[in-house]
Structure 1
Amino acid sequence: MKMIKAIIREERVPFVKKALTDKNIYGMTLLPAMGRGSQGGIHLQFRGGILNIDMLPKVMMEVIIPDDLEETVIHQILSSAKTGREGDGKIFIIPVNESHRIRTGEVEV
């Protein structure tokens, strides 16, 4: 199993959710996040001064999938989250050894 962790723009979440659902991938966790990458935030001219916003709102999406869906999920996220502008986000792939369903005690390896 793999955990796909994607940090994406808030406004792209509906598109990513639909892209994953179209491939029958329904389970996901969404968390609000603040972050910055190579763009270093944004700098705005405001009332004669410069306003620096160095942490931008993002969403962290986590999806646990079988190994054979890794490329599909990555492709779906890349194609639906991309705007072509700095700050589109990043995808991380993390191995998952096993999971335990709390309600039933079922173990998935």
Structure 2
Amino acid sequence: MKWNLRLAAANRGIWKASELQRMLAERGLVISTGKMSGLWSGRPNTIKLDELDVICAVLGCRVEELLVPEPDQVPAPASDDEPAAVTERSGPAPRPGRGRSLPPR
């Protein structure tokens, strides 16, 4: 998915993230400067559906204008003759030894 907030805002004469941030706050959506920077730059970490509703209400747009599908960016499924890709696990490795304890009887 491509996040298109900046273009949607520009189409409505909003050129600064701080201006949109103020407009969102007037509608009850207070966004931190860091999160607003991510939304404005095109790489938001997360966005909640209720936040999306407020953004659409402020801009007078539909979700389709903010979220643009990019199906050509999705990798093709692996064929049967290709081995599945091994993904590295992030975080600490499980400790060997004792498993979970049993519940009391």
TM-score w.r.t. length of structure 1: 0.33
User: Whose helix proportion is higher, 1 or 2?
Assistant: 2
Higher relative contact order (CA 8 A, sep 6+): 1
Larger Rg computed on CA atoms: 2
User: Whose strand proportion is higher, 1 or 2?
Assistant: 1
TM-score w.r.t. length of structure 2: 0.34
